[in-house]
């Protein structure tokens, strides 16, 4: 299961999407997340779906890899779907004892499920098409204005990128530890909730030890390379907006304006 987590992984390539400026991709991802919460109609979902499909096709990331990244959140999506279906009042379409399913519940449940799936896919595309170094530089550049109020932009960007990069590494380590414990007779599936929580202790202890060991090795490697933070640091490649970024900005702006326009139309129909 842990091998299916795509957030934090990088898929190398020289495609249109890979060559985009990391600052644009970070801003575009934030806009993408925001507009998903502005959408109130199924039809409008076609815009971000088309935008996302265009990004995936141009990035040449295998679609099967995108689908594998959805497996870890299937349970969350199903729980969200069931809760909305059962707890949303409205016109009843099915009733059995205390269980009631309404039209509004079905609509809201599937609406929220689609939103969650699009959120995960969109954020995965960012990390799959942006190397950790480029992601760090992009975050640092976006946080540069905060340096005027003594905010350590470079350190924050570095910590965020390292944390994101080590998600798949720690998941892989967790899977190895679980397999080793299961080979020794450990049982993680039987018993009540308390017993299952107690059975995780043999996993958490070596996992924390491994995480601290990796952190210490990373710190020593950075010191050996004379890393001293953002002060006086130079870059081999400077970030510049190119023609591809202009084209992508135009496409993103058109989609954002269209969705905001649909949102205002929806609000107008409610209040007028």
Place of tokens 């990128």: 161
DSSP 49-103: HHHHHHHHHHHT--HHHHHHTTGGGHHHHHHHHHHHHHH--SSEEEEETTEEEEH
What's the pTM value of the predicted model, to 2 decimals?
A: 0.75
**What integer pLDDT is reported at residue 25 of this predicted model?**
93
Asked if residue 95 is part of any domain, the answer here is yes
Q: How far is CA 251 from CA 33, 55, 129, in A?
A: 16, 11, 18
Residue 212 lies in a domain: no
CA distance 75 to 142: 35
b/e per residue, 207-232, with b = 16+ CB within 10 A? beebeeeeeeeeeeeeeeeeeeeeee
In a domain, 207, yes or no: no
Domain count for the chain, please give it. Answer: 1
Give the structural domain span for 114. 2-130+240-271
Q: What is the pLDDT of residue 272?
A: 47
**Do 102 and 91 contact (CB within 8 A), yes or no?**
yes
In a domain, residue 94? The reply is yes
Whether 14 maps to a domain, the answer reads yes
Which is nearest to 239 in space by CA: 24, 11, 37, 13? 24
Give the Cα separation of 20 and 17 in Å (integer).
5
Q: Kindly give the confidence (pLDDT) of every residue in the chain, 272 residues in length, as a single tens digit, with 9 standing for 90 and above.
A: 455 556 667 888 889 999 999 999 999 999 999 888 888 888 888 888 999 999 999 999 888 888 877 877 888 888 888 888 888 887 887 777 777 888 888 888 888 889 999 998 888 888 889 887 788 888 888 888 887 888 887 788 888 778 877 877 888 888 888 888 888 777 777 766 677 777 777 888 888 888 888 888 888 988 888 777 666 666 667 778 888 899 999 999 988 888 888 777 755 555 54
In a domain, 113, yes or no: yes
Question: How far, rounded to the nearest angstrom, does the alpha carbon of residue 160 sit from its chain's CA centroid?
Answer: 13
Asked if the structure places residue 76 within a domain, the reply is: yes
Residue 105 has a pLDDT of 85
Would you state the pLDDT for residue 168?
Answer: 76
* Position 233 in a domain: no
């Amino acid at each position: 299961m842990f091998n299916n987590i795509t957030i934090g992984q990088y898929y190398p390539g020289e495609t249109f999407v890979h060559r985009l400026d990391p600052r644009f991709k970070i801003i575009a991802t934030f806009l993408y997340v925001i507009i998903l919460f502005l959408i109130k109609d199924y039809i409008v979902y076609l815009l971000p779906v088309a935008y996302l499909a265009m990004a995936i096709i141009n990035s040449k990331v295998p679609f099967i890899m995108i689908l594998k990244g959805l497996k870890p959140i299937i349970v969350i999506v199903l729980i969200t779907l069931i809760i909305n279906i059962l707890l949303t009042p409205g016109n009843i379409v099915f009733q059995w004892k205390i269980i009631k399913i309404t039209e509004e519940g079905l609509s809201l449940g599937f609406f929220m499920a689609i939103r969650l799936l699009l959120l995960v896919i969109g954020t995965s595309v960012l990390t799959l098409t942006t190397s950790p170094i480029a992601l760090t530089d992009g975050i640092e550049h976006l946080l540069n204005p905060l340096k005027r109020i003594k905010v350590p932009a470079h350190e924050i960007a570095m910590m965020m990128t390292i944390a994101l990069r080590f998600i798949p590494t720690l998941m892989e380590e967790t899977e190895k530890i679980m397999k080793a414990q299961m080979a020794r007779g450990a049982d993680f599936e039987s018993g009540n909730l308390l017993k299952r929580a107690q059975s995780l202790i043999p996993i958490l202890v070596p996992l924390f030890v491994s995480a601290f060991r990796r952190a210490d090795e990373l710190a020593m490697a950075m010191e050996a390379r004379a890393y001293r933070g953002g002060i006086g640091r130079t870059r081999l490649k400077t970030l510049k907006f190119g023609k591809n970024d202009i084209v992508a900005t135009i496409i993103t702006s058109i989609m954002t304006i269209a969705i905001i326009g649909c949102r205002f139309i929806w609000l107008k129909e409610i209040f007028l």
